[in-house]
A and B are shown apart, each in its own frame.
Chain A
Amino acid sequence: MVETVLRYRTDEPVGDPAVTVDAFAAQSNATAVRIEPGDDALALLPHLERIALIEVNFPSFADGRGYSAARSLRERGYTGELRAVGDVLIDQLSHMRRCGFDSFAPDKPISAEAAEAAFATWPEVYQQTVDGRAPIWAARHPAAKA
């Protein structure tokens, strides 16, 4: 099966396959890891230096744990590729991007044009997250921006 990946980074993609969190802990040279919904993403914190790709699996779009995993990793300094895989649908892309995902490997391929339209769903945002978008309160109070 050809995997279609939507990628929004300029660096070279990682060639290594992503391994499970348990396997990753045992392999000191692994650079790509896959998180399942029940995994503790923060267990990866001591190893962020050597990780180039973290895949976050969504077995069902309705299981939202991956959003917290992604945003938590970004908040704590992870700058490598963060990829949402699995049951990733067009209607979730925008929120995923806001939580720090910068690549997507949906089970059912999504076209780049459709993805762009999804990212543009909301002209503005209310919350400050990890995507660099200024929240509405910052636009209202430019002087108060930290």
Chain B
Amino acid sequence: MYQYDQHDQAMVDARVAEFRGQVARRLSGELTEDQFKPLRLKNGLYLQLHAYMLRVAVPYGTLNSAQMRVLGDIADKYDRGYGHFTTRQNIQYNWIKLADAPDILADLAKVQLHAIQTSGNCIRNTTADHFAGAAADEVADPRPYAELLRQWSTFHPEFDYLPRKFKVAIIASETDRAAMRLHDIGIQIVKNEAGEIGCKFFAGGGMGRTPMIAPCIAEFVPALQMISFLEAALRVYNRHGRRDNKYKARIKILVHEIGVAEYSRQVQEEFAHILTLGLEPPPAELERIKGMFADPGLESGLSDDLDRSDPDFALWVDQNVHTHKQAGYAIVTISLKPVGGIPGDATAYQIRLMADLARDYSLDELRVSHAQNIVLPHVKKADLYRVWQALDAAGLATPNLDLITDIIACPGLDYCALANARSLPLAQKITDRFADIGRQRELGELKLKISGCINACGHHHAGHIGILGVDRKGVENYQLLLGGAESADTSLGTITGPGFSEDGVVDAIEKVTDVYLARREGAERFLDTYRRIGMAPFKEAIYG
């Protein structure tokens, strides 16, 4: 994993000192809330419905156990004993006091964490494949490139007041586990025919009220020109992105309005200019970073044998454990989606327990996935049963990864000032309705995603089943969408028709799954059946 040197540490420490000064100016009344707002947003501090919320960056979703433990300690010390892992691979604390915020940032800085650029119209925290470095199908570990990107984007002087927020995701395999093409810029690390590593760039993806799938804007940019290309792509957006309407300000609108060919042409023109400036970090810097990710300490020659005699354990292995690139190891996903729970929430105790398990059984590494779960990327198969027992005792062994109760949901009207409807109680009701694990497994892979408003933080456009909460004359109402997907076959969901009450939408989901069970052929997933038979049979069942 990446370790700060004195330079990185000095940057983060400087930020803590700066923010401490700004908070003092606000508390003394020297700054008004209007003046303070853009400053606190640059440090991930939002004012929600009931309290301040602090969003802590987890760069490319990777944590070590010491960092994870501090995240648990902060939940205890400054919040109400829990934290919320988000679709941006970050963690949010929902009950923060303004006066405590600088101390929290100082605690984070001691373990090389921060809240820099987790909000505001700037380049946000870069997200990445949560199986990076452990997946068998990657052409390279994408995290060294993500770290190079983190440094470049940190306090970038030209791109701190963009038309709108800007999210970059990076992957390095054909299987997209990061919803890469639903980001402002998506990067896929690829190998060309000569065996050289480079970046395939996508631009203009996003969700929100105008969901779009990012088109490719460059097939192959040499890895050692990645930063220069990003400078060009961002500069064209900063110059020409719309600023007259915040709902049309994301890069997706620019790419859509001028066309992908014209946007690409302008980027290439600027790229050619920027290459003459020599501002790309040297190869030695990428090598330095790569060196820290190269070998997490994997042993070779370990056995793949597994004792599956405990049926509950075997069920969990089948559902929540993935193949590791190294024989004898496995990738464990810890579900933060228990029946009746709040998707992505973990108590301080659970967070510290996961930290301990990472230290003892996963070469000190954890990941946060964009599906709001936690990953232990390097667990020996010989240790799996012990890890499962410890998780089970803490309520963390729900065997539901990618099943209907593995719901992504935004915080909704319970916390968020922008929301039109509550997301969390609905998620709880759906998990209650489908609580039976046998029934869930019968339904198979089924990604259900809930957003409490049109901003789509719950990724409802990309759900096999998506739910959008809206406000209809003062009453919460839920629209149902079918057929979205976020993987290599990214697609956007289609609205079924008129919306439902909270209970009504749970009934409608049940009818939708009944249609699937009746109509599926062979090993079809829900999504496959939907794509084959179309919307009509589902509509008939729901409204007929």
Contacts and interface: CB of A to CB of B under 8 A. Distances in A.
A25 interface: no
A129 B239 contact: no
A112 interface: no
A98 B18 contact: no
Given A62-B161, A141-B282, A144-B283, 14 more contacts: A64-B158, A64-B161, A64-B162, A67-B158, A67-B238, A95-B158, A121-B18, A126-B155, A128-B278, A129-B157, A135-B279, A141-B288, A145-B282, A146-B282
Contacts of A122: 11, 14, 155
A75 B18 contact: no
A65 B239 contact: yes
Interface string A92-132: 10111011000000000000000000000111111111000
B5 A140 contact: yes
B261 to A, nearest CB: 20
A123 B14 contact: yes
Interface string A43-69: 000000000000000000111110111
B238 A146 contact: no
A71 interface: yes
Contacts of B284: 140-141, 143-144
B300 interface: no
Contacts of A69: 239
Contacts of A20: none
A141 B282 CA distance: 8
Contacts of A63: 161, 243
Most chain A C-beta atoms within 10 Å of own C-beta, residue among B152, B154, B279: B279
6 contacts: A65-B238, A95-B158, A122-B11, A124-B7, A128-B277, A135-B281
Contact of A124 (B11, B161, B281, B283): B11
A8 interface: no
Contacts of A121: 14, 18
B5 A68 contact: no
Nearest to B148: A137
A123 B283 CA distance: 24
A61 B284 CA distance: 37
Contacts of B154: 126
Given A62-B161, A137-B281, A127 B156 contact: yes
Interface string B304-330: 000000000000000000000000000
B333 interface: no
A129 B282 contact: no
B38 interface: yes
Contact of A136 (B7, B121, B158, B160): B7
Contacts of A127: 152, 156-157, 279
Interface of B: 5, 7-8, 10-11, 14, 18, 38-39, 121, 151-152, 154-162, 235, 238-239, 243, 273, 277-279, 281-285, 288
A16 interface: no
Contact of B157 (A94, A139, A144): A94
Given A122-B155, A126-B152, A137-B281, A67 B161 contact: yes
A48 to B, nearest CB: 15
A37 to B, nearest CB: 8
B157 A140 contact: no
A126 B273 contact: no
A99 B7 CA distance: 21
Q: Which 5 A-B pairs have the closest CB atoms?
A: A64-B161, A144-B282, A95-B157, A98-B157, A128-B279
B28 to A, nearest CB: 16
Nearest to B243: A63
B155 A125 contact: yes
A137 B282 contact: yes
Interface string A1-19: 0000000000000000000
A91 interface: yes
A92 B157 CA distance: 9
- For B7, B18, B284, the residue with the greatest tally of chain A CB atoms inside 10 Å of its CB is B7
A36 to B, nearest CB: 12
Nearest to A145: B282
B164 to A, nearest CB: 11
Contact of B158 (A123, A124, A125, A129): A129
B464 to A, nearest CB: 38
A145 to B, nearest CB: 8
A102 B243 CA distance: 26
B325 to A, nearest CB: 30
A17 to B, nearest CB: 26
A64 B238 contact: yes
A68 to B, nearest CB: 5
Interface in A78-92: 91-92
Nearest to A126: B151
Interface centre among B158, B161, B162 (most CB of A within 10 A): B158
Contacts of B18: 121
Kindly name the residue among A37, A69, A95 whose own CB sees the greatest number of chain B CB atoms within 10 A.
A95
Contacts of A61: 38, 161
B235 A123 contact: no
Contacts of A143: 284
B45 to A, nearest CB: 15
B67 to A, nearest CB: 21
B157 A99 contact: yes
